[in-house]
Structure 1
């Protein structure tokens, strides 16, 4: 690991490149096995964090709100993501404000008529929330993150279906916790063990919940809520501060 830009990264901790690639392929095969289409973003030399593809944009109904990364180590990723989405034929809107795509934005089409939940505090600037609302035409609920270990929204909150979420309350400010409790009274609440195992950095299709195999407690919670947990091994990717969701950008055509 050449640099550290979040609390999970440690330049003194080696990453097994071969195993990391194997685990990424395992995630890809899991998604394909569940019937999902998987597009691949070609890697660019010198940009190792591109494996966390969710950070490059945020898509709602085919409109792409692009990313503008906070840290210089990731700045060049934005152009690669833009090229991918434009080749895909989507309407791409370049941002004026700093934001890290689906790292800090998520969309629930059936929650209160359709809501974008947006995190801020470490990477994405609050001004990007207003910009996203104008670009995407959906109401945005701003949620302040307060624990640097959960530096992106997708490390502390995840949609389980089109109208409900799972989240770790203590990652958010007191006011944000009140907002989430009001909006999602039936949410699955994670504890610290779940959150530290990256159990909220998950992807769900409304039935299957693909999540880090280390997060056994979170798997039990989503199973109790009526979903089917699908564990995948991503220990090497976790060393960079990401897991399942970080590796998956949802197109939302």
Structure 2
């Protein structure tokens, strides 16, 4: 099923058992922020970026190293070197995604991001070393920035595709087919939003963090929340702006989130996460967040 109808999607999703695959990745990879800088092309449709702010490349690199060390407590984490000519390269989950035995290469909107998809080291790691089959979505119709644009519940085999300037219906359908998903809900992001993974996160198939203000149609977040209730953390616009929605569960009991995102949560929201079996595990990423993304954006999962 691929649909824009949130009620039809909810009715179908409620029939699905969480038996599609592992809820959490078996490993992850990062790309170091070498020569950290802000990409003007990306800022054209990323309201979370401010080109007027100064950035500290050394501080960004130090925070990124600390992020890798923290994530390594949850699962094996690789880090590929960065490329100063690709300043957004530290957000590899937009360009690469995996399923068992498959590497997906996304079709990016901006030329500054398109060059990341050519990296022979990352592609060779999966195809040459791991023997994964490469599925290059650049050869398919549409635009889709993978797990930036589309939030996936791996346990149920369903996805939530935020349509906008970085993802269209054809691109979402190509991702749906490449992953063999059971159902994908298509929805329009609110004006000013660029990626679905900034406005929502599904945590190991058991809980939902969602910012209703990030959706054009309020019926959509309501339907998604109904699927995961009562384990739902609803974010305010200010919490969304602090990247509280850009979080991820890489193991059964921890939610990895930036320090700013964690500090934006209130006790009732922490209690909801605890009730679902999750403890927030924050990592300071304020320097990296100047580039318009946060912790989830940095993590490319390996299934």
TM over 0.5: yes
Answer yes or no: is 1:69 the counterpart of 2:98: no
Evaluate the alpha carbon distance shift between residue 194 and residue 206 of structure 1 in structure 2; reply closer, same or farther with a 3 A threshold: farther
TM-score by length of 2: 0.76
Of 78, 89, 97, which residue of structure 1 is paired with 2:131? 89
Equivalent in the alignment of 2:5: none
TM-score by length of 1: 0.90
Displacement after TM superposition at 1:99 (Å): 1.1
- Higher RCO, 1 vs 2 (CA within 8 Å, ≥6 residues apart): 2
Answer yes or no: is 1:46 the counterpart of 2:90: no
The answer as to whether partners of 1:105 and 1:118 remain within 8 angstroms in 2 is yes
Q: Which runs of 5+ in 2 are unaligned?
A: 1-37
Q: Secondary structure at the match of 1:50?
A: coil
Equivalent in the alignment of 2:259: 213
Answer yes or no: is 1:229 the counterpart of 2:269: no
Displacement after TM superposition at 1:44 (Å): 2.5
Residues in 2 aligned to 1:136 and 1:147: alpha-carbon distance in whole angstroms: 28
Q: Which runs of 5+ in 1 are unaligned?
A: none
The answer as to whether partners of 2:146 and 2:175 remain within 8 angstroms in 1 is no
Residues in 2 aligned to 1:42 and 1:223: alpha-carbon distance in whole angstroms: 38
Equivalent in the alignment of 2:4: none
Displacement after TM superposition at 1:62 (Å): 3.3
Equivalent in the alignment of 2:22: none
Q: Which has the larger radius of gyration?
A: 2
Answer yes or no: is 1:161 the counterpart of 2:207: no
Matched residue pairs, number? 248
Equivalent in the alignment of 1:15: 55
Residues in 2 aligned to 1:93 and 1:164: alpha-carbon distance in whole angstroms: 30
RMSD: 1.9
Equivalent in the alignment of 1:239: 290
Deviations 1:156-179 (A, max 9, x none): 111222233211011012242243
Of 117, 120, 141, which residue of structure 1 is paired with 2:185? 141
Equivalent in the alignment of 1:121: 164
| 237-246 or 218-227: bigger deviation | 218-227
Answer yes or no: is 1:191 the counterpart of 2:229: no
Residues in 1 aligned to 2:85 and 2:58: alpha-carbon distance in whole angstroms: 17
